Amino acid sequence: MEFDPVLLARIQFAFTISFHIIFPAFTIGLSAFVTVLLLLWLKTGEEKFHRLARFWTKIFAVSFAMGVVSGIVLSYQFGTNWSRFSEFSGNVIGPLIGYEVLTAFYLEATFLGIMLFGWNRVPPWLLTLASGLVAFGTATSAFWILSANSWMQTPAGYEIRDGIAFPLDWLAIIFNPSFPLRLAHMLTAAYLTTAVVVLAVGARYVLARQYTEEARTMLRMAVGMIAVTAPLQLVIGDLHGLNTLHHQPMKVAAMEGNWNTATSGHFVIFGIPSQSAEKNYLELAIPYAGSLVLTHTWDGKYPGLTDVPPENRPPVANVFFAFRIMVGIGLLLIATGLFGALLWWRGKLFTTRWYLTGTSYMWPLGFIAILAGWFVTEQGRQPWLVYGLLKTADGISPVPGASVFGTLILFIFVYGAVFSTGVYYINRLIAKGPKGSLAAAPAGLPNRPISAAEPAAREATGKDPGKSIKPKKGGR
């Protein structure tokens, strides 16, 4: 049995980062949501905001822990499976990752303890400040990670010496051509995803007639956020598409399923792209709409996949369908936000059962849209690892395919266990709800960042994780 090391290394990285990306995206939005709740509590003194902030902080703790665990593996893969890529681009990518550690990670590590364990131990203003700084730290982390990824999409500010990239202009590297729009697109997606989860949980409580006061607050805040950010995301996505058309035309051609360069091109609503036949089967398209969307003119010209040799084309079907999943969910969320705002304005937001029932099942949509968008971004860049400079096949380590396959199987088991455990804890916390008032400070202070999830796990299960390791009376 032969193992393709390039394909397996790509599958392994795609698998691990797909698990990882949903947790940072959720914690970016959740930390900001908790900060807003604490600010409202400081301003109004209403305890419902405190209960909600504490409730969502527990879910944040579990999500943050899973994000840390699932993210550790990613950095190691640069050395294990992608050593030639690291050698080529380490002078550029390495410092960007280092800046992320020096700024965002230190900021989060400093104030995360106060945010998670400062309840009843520090003044409310300090708790709120710490939560705000953690929210700022998570967004700062996204800044550096997306800068590094954007440089791989649109490299700038470098020179190649002896086959290795050397930095020339750090401002040009950090603020490379696709970075600002990519950062805005990702941060908006994170806040939108969190709002959809809050909406689903709030709708679930209203339908069950539980925690009514808190649930209505969640519904109002979530609907307001979705009504604003979902249409905004459409505008940012359009600008990002124009930027991609300029810098990575083959990615856009794959997104649109466009095989031949055209003026007055059509927009393919549905089709089944065939890479071998170089055409779409069962195509349903709108004339002229392709040029209008991509160039904002009726007769605008945009490139086709046949402009480049077959070996330089991305996997068209994957990019084509992932793009439609992302856009379809985005349009659904726009309708959800605007219709929810209309119901709110008419005073029927909490009594329209079909709307509440539908939204109570929508919590995964934001995560699915993020994954679909990430597949479009990364697979649309193929066959390039660093666009125009280094092909994926030239960036892997000289390791046997069987070794990559073995570690891939190991990761599937480990990540499956981590993800299942995290989802179990979060579901238990949601089932318990935002009840109670100001909680008493738990006994003992944790001394490890990952232990932040332990109080949440203890409340979710009703068990004390440390109880089983206590020595028996009189025992050693």
Given this model, what pLDDT does residue 306 score?
92
Res 363 pLDDT > 50 = yes
Given this model, what pLDDT does residue 314 score?
94
Q: Does residue 80 or residue 184 have the better pLDDT? A: 184
**Helical pair 179-208 and 316-345, crossing angle rounded to 10 deg:** 50
**Which pTM value belongs to this model?**
0.88
Q: What are the structure tokens assigned to 48, written together? A: 């419902």
Given this model, what pLDDT does residue 3 score?
79
Question: 227, 341 in Cβ contact below 8 A?
Answer: yes
Given this model, what pLDDT does residue 466 score?
42
pLDDT tens digits, 392-430: 999 999 888 888 898 889 888 888 888 888 889 899 999
Given this model, what pLDDT does residue 292 score?
83
Res 459 pLDDT > 80 = no
Beta bridge partners of 157: none
Res 447 pLDDT > 50 = no
Beta bridge partners of 384: 391
CA torsion sign, 326 to 330 to 336 to 337?
positive
Lowest mean pLDDT among 244-253, 316-325, 430-439, 466-475: 466-475
Q: What distance in Å separates the CA atoms of residue 424 and residue 444, rounded to the nearest whole number?
A: 25
Given this model, what pLDDT does residue 77 score?
83
Q: What are the structure tokens assigned to 201, written together? A: 């949980």
Q: What distance in Å separates the CA atoms of residue 364 and residue 389, rounded to the nearest whole number?
A: 36
Average pLDDT on 200-213 reads 94
Q: What angle do CA 331, 262, 177 make, to 5 degrees?
A: 60
Res 154 pLDDT > 80 = yes
pLDDT-based confidence at 458, cuts 50/70/90?
low
Q: Does residue 353 or residue 455 have the better pLDDT? A: 353
243 phi-psi bin (left φ>0, alpha ψ -120 to 50, beta other): alpha
Q: Does residue 4 or residue 454 have the better pLDDT? A: 4
pLDDT-based confidence at 441, cuts 50/70/90?
very low
Q: What distance in Å separates the CA atoms of residue 271 and residue 261, rounded to the nearest whole number?
A: 18
- Write down the mean pLDDT value for the chain: 87
Res 452 pLDDT > 70 = no
Lowest mean pLDDT among 95-104, 246-255, 334-343: 95-104
pLDDT-based confidence at 78, cuts 50/70/90?
confident
Burial label, 188 (beta-carbon count in 10 A; 0-12, 13-18, 19+): buried
Task: Name the percent of the chain lying above pLDDT 70.
Answer: 91
Res 4 pLDDT > 90 = no
Q: What distance in Å separates the CA atoms of residue 177 and residue 183, rounded to the nearest whole number?
A: 11
Average pLDDT on 85-113 reads 88
pLDDT tens digits, 311-353: 999 999 999 999 999 999 999 999 999 999 999 999 999 999 9
Given this model, what pLDDT does residue 472 score?
40
Q: What angle do CA 155, 156, 157 make, to 5 degrees?
A: 140
Given this model, what pLDDT does residue 460 score?
59
Task: Map out the domains of the chain as residue ranges.
Answer: 1-176+400-437, 220-397
Q: What distance in Å separates the CA atoms of residue 325 and residue 333, rounded to the nearest whole number?
A: 12
Res 8 pLDDT > 60 = yes
Q: Select from 34, 194, 48 the least CA-distant residue to 111.
A: 34
Given this model, what pLDDT does residue 288 score?
83
Average pLDDT on 217-237 reads 96
Average pLDDT on 355-378 reads 95
Res 67 pLDDT > 60 = yes
Strands 262-263 and 301-302 come out as: antiparallel
Given this model, what pLDDT does residue 220 score?
96
